[in-house]
Amino acid sequence: MKNSQQIKAVDFFCSGGGMTCGLTQGGVSVIAGIDNDPACQKTYEANNPGSKFILADVFDLKEADLAKTLKLKRNDDSLVLIGCSPCQFWSIIRTDKTKSMKSKNLLIEFKRFVDYFNPGYVLVENVPGILAKKDSSGLGSFVSSLEKKGYKVHFDIVNMSEYGVPQSRRRFSLLATRVHDKPIFPEKINKRLSVQDVLGEENGFDKIKPGHRDQTLFQHSVANLTEKNVLRLKKTPKNGGSWLDWAKDPSLKRRSYAGDGFKDNYGRMVWDKPSPTITTKFFSISNGRFAHPEENRALSIREGATLQTFPKKYFFHSNSIAGAARMIGNAVPPQFAKLLGQTIIKAHKKHG
C-alpha cells in the first residue's frame, strides 16, 4: 500500500523554514531541513519542532551519508525531496551575479539526491528566470531525467496570489510524482486576499513610527528612516502613491534617478490589492513599493512575514531587521506549501 506510511519530506535549502512550516500544516512530516547558513538554524529549529536542522553545504553532502543520518530508504513511495535553492543568479532583477555564481548549479546538485533516493515525490520552487534559461540552469535536463524515470511532472510559473497568499509573487513551481499515472498540482483559490485582509489595526497591527523596536515575540519592528525619507513619505499620497508625486521637488528629488528609473521604489502599498513581491529588502522603502499604505514608514518584520503567510507566532531569531527580512523574503509562503502538502497527501491516499 502506497499510503501505509505518513508522507515524509526532506527540505533542501530550507532557510528559515517557510516550506517546512507549510508542509507540516498540510500534514506532511518534515524529517529535516538542510541549509549552509548557520544564521537560519535557530529560527528553523525553534519554529519547527520535530524537524532536524542539518547545517551543510549541498556540494559537500554525500547521498549515502544523508541516508544514514536520517534513516532514509531508497525508492520510498512516501518520501518527498524538496529543492527550493537560492536563486539570485537566475533572477530577472538586474543585479550583480558574481556572489550568486555558485548557486547557479544547485539544481544540478539536488538532482544527485533525487537520482539516488528515487523518492515518490519531488518539489522544486524557484524564480521564473530558471524556466526562461532552462538549458543553462539545468532545469531542462532535470525535467527530462524525471520523465525518463517515469515521473509525471507538472511545472509552471504561478502567481501566489491565486493560492491564498495576499501577495503578487510569481514563482516557478514543479511537482513530480512517480506513484501516480497523472501529474498532480494544487487547485487555485478563487478569492484573492488583499493587504487590507491581513494588515492594519483591525488585524492586530498597532500604528508605529519609523525605528520602532518591538521587544515582544510579535516582532512589529520597523527600520528607521532619514529625515528626508520621512518628508518624502509625507508627500506620497496614501494608498498607492509613488515618488512621482514629489519627483520635481528639488529638496526631495532623488539624485541618482533624475526623474526615471524603478517606478515602485519609495511607493506605498494599496489596501485593496495583494502586496507586491516580498523580497529580502522589504524593510526598505528605497528597494520597492514597501511603504505602509497610510503610515509614514516601511513594513515591519511581522507585516512582511504576514504577507508571506507565516503564522503570527513564528519568531525570527536575528540580531537585525535585515537578517530577519532575509529569511522572510527568501521563504516559500507557508500557505502555498500547505496546499502542496495537502495535494500530495490527498493523491497518495486516493491511489493507495
CA 247 vs CA 155, 159, 170, 237, 265: distances in Å = 42, 32, 29, 13, 12
H/E element, 11: strand 8-12
Sign of CA dihedral 276, 281, 284, 287: negative
Residue 134: phi and psi, rounded to 5, are -65, -25
Contacting residues for 134 by C-beta, under 8 A, at least 6 apart: 140, 143
CA-CA distances (angstroms) from residue 259 to 226, 238, 290? Answer: 21, 21, 19
Residue 10 amino acid letter: V
Residue type, 14: C
Joined together, the cell numbers standing for residue 305 give 512575514
- Rounded Cα distance, 193 and 11, in Å: 27
Q: Tell me, yes or no, if 14 is annotated catalytic.
A: no
Please state, in angstroms and as integers, the Cα–Cα distance from residue 85 to each residue in 30, 181, 276, following that order: 17, 28, 22
**Residues 134, 94: contact at Cβ < 8 Å?**
no
231 to each of 50, 134, 235, 264, 345, how far by Cα in Å?
A: 48, 45, 6, 17, 52
User: Measured between alpha carbons, how far is 149 from 316 in angstroms, rounded to an integer?
Assistant: 39
Q: Where are the alpha helices (DSSP H) in 77-135?
A: 106-117, 129-132
Which secondary-structure segment (H or E) carries 345? helix 334-350
All three cell numbers of 114:
533525487
Question: What does the alpha-carbon distance between residue 20 and residue 41 come to, in Å, rounded to a whole number?
Answer: 13
Active-site positions read 87
